[in-house]
């Protein structure tokens, strides 16, 4: 695998959800909210959330709604069904349009890598290598969410 770009991940919910259930102000408050779970996550039913102290806190998400598609998770958040933890390439437009809001704005950004994945130990075709090199150079030194 080769890193080609970065994205930020945030917890978002609809204005209607926050009007009805309140807005969490700290990570521990999330236990009192409806959390929307991405079911194919490698981490299971746990969000790993960066805390202001620099530590990474674990938040269990089991029990409310579980889907295996990021767009469906965003749609559920927009519909007011709960809070979703999503990468910016999914939530950015909805945030700009006011359909979702940052659940806890004071938390540090969670920056995640986006990778080109290819089989290890095998010959990589030159055209595949050239495409990956192009992607790496297109996003080089631009920081998270640069697309």
pLDDT digits (tens, 9 = 90+) for 59-85: 988 767 888 899 999 999 999 999 999
pLDDT tens digits, 43-52: 668 888 999 9
pLDDT of 29 over the 70 cut: yes
Residue 123 pLDDT: 78
Q: What's the pTM?
A: 0.84
Going along the chain from its start, the domains and CATH numbers come out as 7-112 (3.40.190.10)
Cβ 20 vs Cβ 80: under 8 Å: yes
Residue 45 pLDDT: 81
């Amino acid at each position: 695998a080769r890193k080609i770009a970065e994205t930020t991940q945030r917890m978002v919910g609809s204005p209607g959800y926050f009007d009805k259930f309140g807005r969490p102000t700290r990570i521990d408050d999330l236990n009192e909210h409806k959390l929307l779970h991405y079911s194919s996550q490698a981490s299971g039913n746990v969000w790993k959330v960066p805390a202001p102290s620099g530590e990474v806190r674990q938040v269990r998400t089991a029990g409310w709604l579980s889907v295996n598609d990021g767009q469906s998770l965003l749609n559920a958040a927009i519909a007011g069904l709960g809070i979703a933890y999503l990468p910016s390439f999914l939530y950015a437009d909805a945030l700009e349009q006011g359909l979702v809001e940052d659940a806890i704005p004071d938390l540090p950004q969670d920056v995640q890598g986006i990778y080109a994945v290819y089989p290890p130990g095998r010959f990589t075709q030159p055209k595949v290598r050239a495409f990956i090199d192009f992607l790496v150079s297109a996003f080089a030194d631009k920081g998270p969410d640069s697309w």
